[in-house]
Structure 1
Amino acid sequence: MSTITLRGMTWDHPRGYDPLVRGAPLFEAANPGIRIEWEKRSLREFGEAPLDRYAERYDLIIIDHPFAGFAASHSYLIDWSAHLSAEEQAAFAADSVGRSWESYRYKDRVWALPIDAATQVSSFRPDLMDRLGQEPPRTFEEVLHLAERARAKGLAITTTAFPTDAISTVISIAANLGHAIVDDTPVFLPPTIGREVLARFHAIVDAAHPTATSSNPITAYELMTSGDEIAYCVYGYGYTNYSRPAPGKRRLRFTDVPAHGPNGCAGTQLGGTGVAVSALSKNGDAAVRYGKWLCGPAHQGSDYFRLGGQPASLAAWTNPDLNEGCDNFFRNTLATLQSAHVRPRFDGWIPLFEEGGDRATACMKREITDEAFIDWINAEFAHAQERAGVGVRA
């Protein structure tokens, strides 16, 4: 029997790499004649994936849902809906955490199967919060109060204001305040809303640890688990890895994000990843079979989590055994993820998101004014919509 080799590309973090590499032998054992090889790229490269080049080299590509618009305008990825029965599609939709399944459906086609679900949440060190004598904040005002209390006791709070995370937080706060930014939003940040969003974000950054503007979730959580300075983090994408026991590290406890108004924790920007299959693959049938296995609830709710993954399956998120293994990470952040917001996905959005992130961080550092950021993002969003032919609502 000849052997089929499936090559895949994923992102360089134990959460994105370990469950795929360590889980591959399980699929190979049940599917003789198929061999699986996974490679990884940096988190920054993951967000800027050149799908045209990856589709030529790999059978499977881990993507995030903003690539759906690019995929719909080009011919590099298969449409999963052509490879799933109506019953299979309904099952994936029913087992989706929040809008994870929906986020990969664009222009009536499905560009990936959700394998990993995440959104911006909050986290804290239980031992340091005990020293502060406070519960995790439930409102924006309580975040600022906690920052003052932490400072008085030689501690700090933090946030993630590295470019990708900074623009994510701008979008999250805007959505929580009632201005959800989607493909056909007429104005990215109307001036009144924009000033309020940025004022709230400035207040958090100004109250945060000095590393906030250079921190993504990984760097923030590494600081929190390896040192004793930071008690709490707000607006960081959830990573179940940091809520599990690890040698020489403190565990974090994750919780819902605080509210800015009457909408509770709703509106944080949806993250996570999906399994896409190259339309150029010579082994597409085998890749499809493997993708279904990876994203199915049986694997998601058992070995995928056990090997370090963060499932996209609702059955996994509500599984008591899995929650016990990660200090209730899933249960404690489910409300935030179930109400998370899907950002724009039109073709051309990703470059704007990347440059917008650089400018959002510069704004938080006060290297550019709030007005300059608002004017720039509004103009560039309108130009990107026009280039993509996105219809703006009346």
Structure 2
Amino acid sequence: MRYRALTWDHPRGYNALAAAAAGLDEERDGLAIDWDKQPLEGFEAHPISDLCARYDLIVLDHPHVGEAVAERGLIPLEDLFTAADIAGWQRDSIGPSLASYRFADRHWALPLDAATQVMACRADLLDEPIPVTWAEVASLSERAPVALSLAGPHACLTFLSMATAFGDPPAVADPDRLVSAEVGERVLDLMATLAGRMPAAVRGLNPIGLLGHMARIDKVALCPLVYGYVNYAAPTAAGEKPVTFADAPRATADGRPGSTLGGTGIGVSVRCEVTPALLDHLRWLLGAEAQRSFIPAHDGQPSRRDAWADTAVNERWGGFYRNTAATLEAAYVRPRHAGYIAFQADAAAMIRDALADGTPHPALLDRLQHRYAASRPVAGTER
């Protein structure tokens, strides 16, 4: 059986899956998998219903789950795997990696890859310790070039993470309220300060572009929140310098690191003709051997907690996993209702525009709250 599959176009998203598929023999193993790639922007925003209609396996981000369920595009894991399988992945996956794919009392994707926003810096460009708190980040920005990740949906994601650090994880205390006025204005004030000081050359860069810029060009000393890509911690390309990763900033030194969960899962579409051989391959991808050895060796970023603590894995990748695991364990999980992705895109554009034109922050918060409320289901749908 030959399957058509889609992931995203970056070594972290593609290389391990492609290498695993290359080791399959259709006659011997009973399956073959052809992995296609889409750009990061497509991964973040392309309608999941369209992808489910064209592919058997889809690598997706957890906020797409509500849309996929509404469109009846994915098969729940409970219909494919045993309760023991799912319980094992829940136990072994770091942070909310598996829980983020639970919606409407079912799980909709396998937690292949774990990631969240963390702090990235060029340690060789800093004359002082890496900051721990947001106050320290703001202070550093007066003396060294500090960049925010604002392109695409990331202006919104940065806002959500900072609100989490300041004690109001969005839409958690009240699913119908994005953030309180007090926390929202505090976050926007700080974002405006940092955005006003950041180098213009990186304003339009997505996380991959921003980290690549940091590795190649000595112009950005620190980005306080950007999705972690282990590849940049130990670069192999000529002329690139290592990026040091650390936990996301906190409001206080002993507070919660504010970060919005990313990572990827593998969903099985309803068009897929599922076989035992396919399920065994998917189990292997989430197993200890693949997650601690094969996936890291092929530029991937594992989801198992023991892989993040593994000494050999950390030695190979500059301590990336050990240095950021606490942030991942505490990561904020976004809403997953069917209208969330559209809200995220609109909110990011609103925030970027407001930072550029000086819109008063209370007015921006009011617009964000109304747009969020409009994205919510009428009643009764789980987040």
Give TM class, smaller chain.
over 0.9
User: For residues 92 and 300 of structure 1, do their structure 2 counterparts lie closer, same or farther at Cα, with a shift above 3 Å needed?
Assistant: same
Tell me the equivalent position of 1:205. Answer: 195
Q: Does 1:36 align with 2:33?
A: yes
Q: Tell me the CA shift for residue 26 of structure 1.
A: 2.8
CA contact (8 A) 2:261 2:331 kept: yes
Q: Quick one: structure 1 residues 60 and 84, their matched pair in 2 at CA, closer, same or farther if it must change by over 3 Å?
A: same
SS at match of 1:271: coil
Does structure 1 residue 254 correspond to structure 2 residue 245? Answer: yes
**Where does residue 150 of structure 2 map in the other structure?**
161
Residues 1:110 and 2:107 aligned together: yes
Structure 1 residue 351: Cα displacement: 0.7
Q: Report the Cα offset of residue 72 of structure 1.
A: 2.7
- Tell me how far apart the structure 2 counterparts of residues 368 and 23 of structure 1 sit (CA, whole Å): 50
Residues 46-57 of structure 1 correspond to what in structure 2 (within 5 A)? 46-57=43-54
Q: How much has 1:20 moved relative to structure 2?
A: 1.1
Match of 1:26 in 2: 23
Q: Secondary structure at the match of 2:242?
A: coil
Q: Which amino acid aligns with 2:92?
A: D
Distance 2:330 2:298 in 1: 27
Provide, for residues 11-50 of structure 1, a one-character-per-residue CA deviation record: whole Å limited to 9, x for no partner: 1111111111122123448952321110011111111232
TM superposition shift of 1:221:
0.9
**1:260-275 counterparts in 2 under 5 A?**
260-261=251-252, 264-275=255-266
Q: Quick check: 1:278–1:284 contact (8 Å CA) kept in 2?
A: no
CA distance in 2, matches of 1:124, 1:262: 19
3-state DSSP of counterpart to 1:159: coil
Whether the 8 Å CA contact 2:114–2:301 is kept in 1: the answer is: yes
Partner SS for 1:100: coil
Aligned with residue 378 of structure 1, among 363, 369, 375: 369
Question: In structure 2, what is the Cα distance between the partners aligned to 1:320 and 1:73?
Answer: 42
Letter in 2 for 1:176: A
Aligned partner letter, 2:48? L
Q: 1:306, CA displacement in angstroms? A: 0.4
1:59–1:287 Cα contact (<8 Å) kept: no
The 3-state SS of whatever aligns with 2:52 is: helix
Aligned to 1:196: 186
Q: 1:284 to 1:44 in 2, by over 3 A?
A: farther
**Quick check: 1:226–1:250 contact (8 Å CA) kept in 2?**
yes
Bigger shift: residues 329-338 or 139-148: 139-148
Compute the TM-score of the two structures, normalised by the length of structure 2. Answer: 0.94
> 1:153 corresponds to which residue?
none
Shift of 1:95: 0.9
Runs of 4+ off more than 6 Å? none
What SS is found at the alignment partner of 1:157? coil
1:48–1:391 CA distance, 2 compared to 1 (3 A) = closer
* Residue in structure 2 matched with residue 228 of structure 1 by the alignment: 218
TM-score (norm 1): 0.91
Give the Cα–Cα distance (whole angstroms) in 2 for the partners of residues 5 and 135 of structure 1.
Answer: 52
Cα pair distance change 1:267/1:148, threshold 3 Å:
closer
Report if aligned partners of 1:161, 1:212 keep a CA contact under 8 Å in 2.
no
Paired positions, count:
381
Q: Answer yes or no: is 1:143 the counterpart of 2:147.
A: no
Per-residue deviation at 1:328? 0.4
**Which amino acid letter does the alignment assign opposite residue 169 of structure 1?**
T
Cα drift, residue 384 of structure 1: 1.9
Report how far residue 9 of structure 1 moved.
0.4
The one-letter amino acid paired with 1:170 is: F
Report SS of the residue matched to 2:211: helix
d(CA) in 1 for partners of 2:264 and 2:139? 34
Matched, 1:278 2:269: yes
3-state SS of paired residue (1:148): coil
Alignment CA distance shift 1:390-1:88 (3 Å): closer
1:56-75 equivalences in 2 (<5 Å) = 56-75=53-72
Q: Does 1:366 align with 2:370?
A: no
Aligned partner of 2:337 among 328, 342, 346: 346
1:289 pairs, out of 269, 280, 284, with 280
SS of 1:230 mapped into structure 2: coil
C-alpha contact (below 8 Å) 1:159/1:204 kept by paired residues: yes
Q: 1:82 to 1:390 in 2, by over 3 A?
A: closer
Superposed CA RMSD in Å reads 2.0
In structure 2, the residue matched to 1:16 is: 13
Using the TM superposition, give the Cα deviation of residue 366 of structure 1 relative to its aligned residue in structure 2, in angstroms.
2.7
Gaps of 5+ in 1: 151-155
The percent identity for this pair of structures is 34
Q: Does 1:123 align with 2:117?
A: no
Match of 1:87 in 2: 84
**Which residue identity lines up with residue 14 of structure 2 in the other structure?**
Y
Q: Is the 8 A contact 2:171 2:179 kept in 1?
A: no
Q: In the alignment, which residue of structure 1 is the partner of 2:205?
A: 215
Q: Secondary structure at the match of 1:365?
A: helix
Range that drifts further, 293-302 or 211-220: 211-220
Query: Quick check: 2:29–2:277 contact (8 Å CA) kept in 1?
Result: no
Q: For the structure 1 residues 262 and 78, does the alpha-carbon distance in structure 2 shift closer, same or farther, using more than 3 Å as the test?
A: same
Question: CA separation in 2, counterparts of 1:192 and 1:247?
Answer: 45
